[in-house]
Every structure is written in C-alpha cells, then in structure tokens.
Amino acid sequence: MVGTINEFNLGGNMLTVRDKAPDFVLEGYVNDSIKTFKLSNYKGKWVVLFFYPTDFTFVCPTEVIALSKAREDFKKLGAEVFGVSTDSVYSHQAWSKELGELNFPLLSDFNKQISHQYGILDDEKGVARRATFVINPDGEISWLVVSADSVGRSVNDLLRTLEALQTGKLCPADWQPGEKTLN
C-alpha cells in the first residue's frame, strides 16, 4: 500500500516516532468489569497500544487472542497491553465473553477522538485502522506500524521489537533477543 494519508482517508495527522503519545481517559472492559483507564497512569512503563477496526470480525479476534496468550511475555518485559477500537465498552464485554477471558483491557474509543488524535481513524468507515504503537516509559512513541485491515499482526515480531527497543542499542535486521547489537 503506497499513498498519502489523505489517500488512505486517515483522520488527523498521523503521529510518528518520538512524538509524545496523546493522553487519554477511556472506559475499558477487563476481568468481568468496566473500568476507566488513563494513559498517563502508566508513565514509567512500556505500553503497547494496539488499535483494531471492530469487535465480532474475522481477523481481529485472532490478534486479540494471540496477544492475550502472550500476556506473560509482555509482562516479563514490563509492558502493559491495551486493545482499542471504536466499539462501545458493552460490545467489548459481549465479545470478551465469546472470546474467553482476556489478559488485558479492551478500551472503547466510542467517540473516535483517540483514533483521530493518533491519526489512524478511517473517516469513511468510522473505525480505527489496524495500528500498533509502542510507547516508552517517557510517554513517547518509540515504534508504530499501520497495516491493511485484512492482515493480522505478528505477536512474535511485536515482542522482538519491544525487546530490541529496550536494549537502547542499534539492532540489525532480523535481530533476535540475546544476539549481539551493533556498536
């Protein structure tokens, strides 16, 4: 996919690496309850914020379940994981019951403000693009990827990327945890 942000019909201006991650206060569903989550409460931690188009679709549940299964791996790396879509918190609640217990919150950006602020809102469809942001402990975006709605993300590559970022060093292509970094 090659084109400009306008050609992809993305809302707002897309953020990039080293930008300050916009704070948010969103309702989310986790562990059989609805809670409020504020990004600034996680300052000092790594945060994986992944946006997905909608609940009750084909590709999205594969990603959500894979990320949930890898929760302990993210936890070992000191990272909090949040899923975000423009569905309501009640949709997340119903979908979670269908998927089974999830190990991280699904946040509701029902008014589409956060998707717009992060620059990944598809204005035409009214949903978030499939996008992942890794936010460092200082609250800055360290890594991001936006992909076609039809292609799910690799949890293994996300974990590898998070670990590479945490080295604070130069990591070559296909670097794997435990391998040498570049000087």
Q: Band of the pLDDT at 9, cuts 50, 70, 90?
A: very low
**pLDDT score, position 12:** 54
To the nearest whole percent, how much of the chain has pLDDT over 70? 93
What are the E-state strand segments in 4-67?
A: 25-30, 33-38, 46-51
- The rounded mean pLDDT for the chain is 92
Question: Is-contact 130 153, C-beta < 8 A?
Answer: yes
Confidence (pLDDT) at 14: 77
Tens of pLDDT, residue by residue over 91-119, are 999 999 999 999 999 999 999 999 999 99
Q: How far apart are the first and last CA of the chain?
A: 34
Q: What pLDDT was estimated at residue 73?
A: 98
> What are the structural domains, with CATH classification, of the chain?
7-167 (3.40.30.10)
The tens digit of pLDDT for each residue in 161-177 reads 999 999 999 999 999 99
Contact, 131 vs 51, CB < 8 A? yes
Contacts of 71 (CB under 8 A, 6+ apart): 81, 103, 104
pLDDT of 5 > 80? The answer is no
In angstroms, the CA 78 to CA 80 distance is: 7
Residues involved in catalysis: 60
